[in-house]
Amino acid sequence: MPRKVCVVVTARPSYSRIRTALDAIRAHPDLELQLVVAASALLERYGDAVAVMEEEGFRIDRRVYMVVEGENLTTSAKTTGIGLTELATVFDNLGPDIVVTVADRYETMATAVAASYMNIPLAHVQGGEVTGSIDEKVRHAVTKLSDLHLVSSESARERVLRMGERHEAVHMTGCPSIDLAKEALDAEPRNITELISQYGGVGAEVDLSGGYVVVMQHPVTTEVEQARKHAEETLHAVSKAGKPALWFWPNVDAGSDGTSKAIRIFREQNLLPNVHFYRNFRPLDFLSLLINSRGIIGNSSVAIRECAYLGVPAINIGSRQAGRDRGRNVTDIGYDRDAIRAEIERLFERGDRPRDMIYGDGSAGRNIADVLASAELTIEKMLTY
């Protein structure tokens, strides 16, 4: 009997991050994939991940709406509570042998608590990293609820062990998002103008022939009040720099209202004649966009992880990625419009594309499936000290 592996996908970026592992689980002779899609992964305004998943041939076993509207901290907590209640029912009905949860979005706690409370071995992908903000708390709390740790880097492995997890439970698999980056890099070159024409979006028509940048800035959940101000600094910088920019809307999170409002006001004042806005691209399309860009700006983890592998220069703004291992592609900077602007201009001069394998070499999906198929499953554990 193959092991039933239940993966809960709660957001578009999580899907991208785990996709090659889903492929490998589905293909593995000793594993059976159970796929639960929940939270913003079901919602059109956050990229309709479920539609993408179905397009890419995945059969969805359960769909769970759980996002409570308000985009504030209270509703983040409530969303997680509803998800926890419902995922318990889902797991009770599906009877998985292992549950997999991905990374550190707030609602992953629903998956982690449900599985661990139900004595289902819990595998956590991307534990052991450090970032600050609420993600930091969530990630390490999930580590303490998990039985199997599928980490993305050597320093992450080290930290998970130092938190008291057992050696045999921690596996350095690399990050599956790097698998996609490898796929994109190995693929035929794309025509970027054609590529973006599929996606509509709103805002100015931009000419990409002289190079362009990609912008992706999320609110920081422990700095919700400043979300709007933080967005404004980047908006000013991008506006002043005047370089062609493709800007991606933020995830649903406490604070995204502030970010969205800042963008809307800039747009209404016509301050962004060089910017086109998008909701979401298919992952490989997005990676091609990065590969062909001058660099990425904002605070997305893509800048830290995929772009390290790809060698795409990144301007990382503020505290959201604090503490994450960085490749040589990253320049850190504060919420300061002038400094950001100067860095944007430097992207158009810079020639190097330094590549680092810190988050894996492109085989993470397969590694994860192999660990899920072969690891001893247990739900008992104690601190190693």
| CA R_g for the chain | 20
Residues 6+ apart with CB under 8 A from 360: 152, 153, 173, 174, 175, 176, 178, 179, 309
Q: Cα(326)–Cα(303) distance, rounded to whole angstroms?
A: 9
Minimum Å gap between C-beta 219 and a copy of itself is 13
Give the CA distances from residue 92 to residues 4, 39, 113, 130, 215, in Å, rounded to whole numbers and listed in that order: 13, 19, 14, 33, 41
Residues 6+ apart with CB under 8 A from 71: 252, 253, 254, 255, 256, 257
Nearer to a copy of itself, 70 or 242 (CB): 70
Nearer to a copy of itself, 92 or 207 (CB): 92
H/E stretch holding 295:
strand 295-298
Minimum Å gap between C-beta 105 and a copy of itself is 11
Minimum Å gap between C-beta 137 and a copy of itself is 5
Nearer to a copy of itself, 2 or 200 (CB): 200
Nearer to a copy of itself, 230 or 294 (CB): 230
H/E stretch holding 136:
helix 133-145
Nearer to a copy of itself, 173 or 222 (CB): 222
Minimum Å gap between C-beta 74 and a copy of itself is 4
Nearer to a copy of itself, 133 or 292 (CB): 133
Q: Residue 65 carries which side chain, given as an amino acid letter?
A: Y
Minimum Å gap between C-beta 29 and a copy of itself is 28
CA 144 to chain centre: 21
Q: Cα(66)–Cα(362) distance, rounded to whole angstroms?
A: 33
Nearer to a copy of itself, 27 or 379 (CB): 379
Three-class DSSP category at 246:
strand
> What phi and psi, each to the nearest 5 degrees, are found at residue 56?
-85, 15
> What phi and psi, each to the nearest 5 degrees, are found at residue 366?
-65, -45
Residue carrying the six token digits 């649903």: 252
Minimum Å gap between C-beta 183 and a copy of itself is 32
Minimum Å gap between C-beta 221 and a copy of itself is 8
Q: Cα(249)–Cα(177) distance, rounded to whole angstroms?
A: 20
Nearer to a copy of itself, 91 or 281 (CB): 91
Minimum Å gap between C-beta 16 and a copy of itself is 21
